[in-house]
Amino acid sequence: MSVNTYKRFFRINPVLLKELKVKMRSWKAAILIGVYNLVLLLLTIFIMKLTLDNDIGVPTQETILTTYAFLVAAQFGLITLIAPALTAGAISGEREKQTLDILLSTTLNHGSIITGKLFSSLSQIILLLISSVPVFSIIFLYGGVGLTQLLQVYLFFIVIAITLGSIGIFFSTFIKKSTAANVLTYAVVVFFYLGTILISVFYIRLVIMPNNALGYSKTFWLFNLNPAIALISLVVDQFREGAGSIILGLNLNAQQGELHLWQINVIFNICLSAFLLFISSVKLNPVKRKLFRRSNLILKRKGS
């Protein structure tokens, strides 16, 4: 490989590099990381003290697992609340500031602009997740959770953050106003979190169970799209206590040889993110938009 090939391979996206330089120059990033981890540490200590049930004061296995589940839920809530808001105004904000045309006139291809905006918006969340590793290391002192489980959770978090960010980038590209893009982004997120549950429960209770005298114990396919249930499936799989059977009366544990619910959700999220980013890059490219319009006109003329 030549020197130029190495430079291209290791070159950081210019949009991402510029955004990181701007954000990291101020004290806001350091203050945000310090405050977030301090609050997370205090809540962790509080949960561990609250769940102690022995006179010696040494955390039990149940205490450690409860604290771990709390930390995972707190990180997951952070991603769910912040990731869509950070990306929903990435492209529409440039359009409102009338700087999008300047960005499009550079030598960057449109896919690089989309991915650069995505990861620059999510950089704060990823930085907070990485900085919280020492807080999670408290659990390692008492055992019960290993490094493999922690890596699984963090990879799941990153995939969810990219998926939610891709939804925000998609609406930010197609809609001119940031407010409307934010509303539609959170509407889709609410559908994935609550809509899939409501549709599944109503369908199972009203359609499947009345026609099945033995009851219904399998997980409905729509649950595979729900990130919250996927996280529960991941934690249940790590604990291996069979607690997933009490979630909405359904079994979240996979049979031998089958993919777990959280694994299916990760695959779906990766495919959805790639599709949304591709569509967004096509929409952002005025040349490709003209080609699509011409092809549509040609098809209409042939049809007439």
- Per-residue pLDDT at 266: 93
| Rounded Cα distance, 267 and 245, in Å | 23
Q: How many CB atoms lie within 10 A of CB 34?
A: 12
pTM over 0.85: no
- Cross-strand partners of 250: 247
- Residue ranges of the domains in the chain? 25-284
Average pLDDT, the chain: 76
Q: Are 29 and 19 in contact (CB under 8 A)?
A: no
Listed range (17-21, 198-202, 207-211, 262-266) with the worst mean pLDDT: 207-211
- Let me know how long the chain is: 304
Q: Which residue has the higher pLDDT, 289 or 166?
A: 166
Q: What pLDDT digit, counting tens, does each position of 29-57 carry?
A: 788 788 888 888 888 888 777 766 554 55
Q: How many CB atoms lie within 10 A of CB 19?
A: 18
- Per-residue pLDDT at 227: 92
> Would you place residue 100 in the very low, low, confident or very high pLDDT band (cuts 50, 70, 90)?
confident
| Rounded Cα distance, 272 and 191, in Å | 15
Asked whether residue 84 carries a pLDDT value surpassing 70, the answer given is: yes
Closest C-alpha to 164, from 73, 94, 269: 269
Q: Whole-angstrom distance between the N-terminal and C-terminal Cα of the chain?
A: 53
The amino acid that residue 57 corresponds to is G
* DSSP annotation string for 97-148: TT-HHHHHTSS--HHHHHHHHHHHHHHHHHHHHHHTHHHHHHHHTT-SS-HH
| Whole-number percent of the chain with pLDDT over 90 | 17
Supply 214's token pair: 């033995």
Q: Are 140 and 133 in contact (CB under 8 A)?
A: no
- Per-residue pLDDT at 236: 83
Supply 121's token pair: 């918006």
Q: What pLDDT digit, counting tens, does each position of 188-198 carry?
A: 999 999 998 88
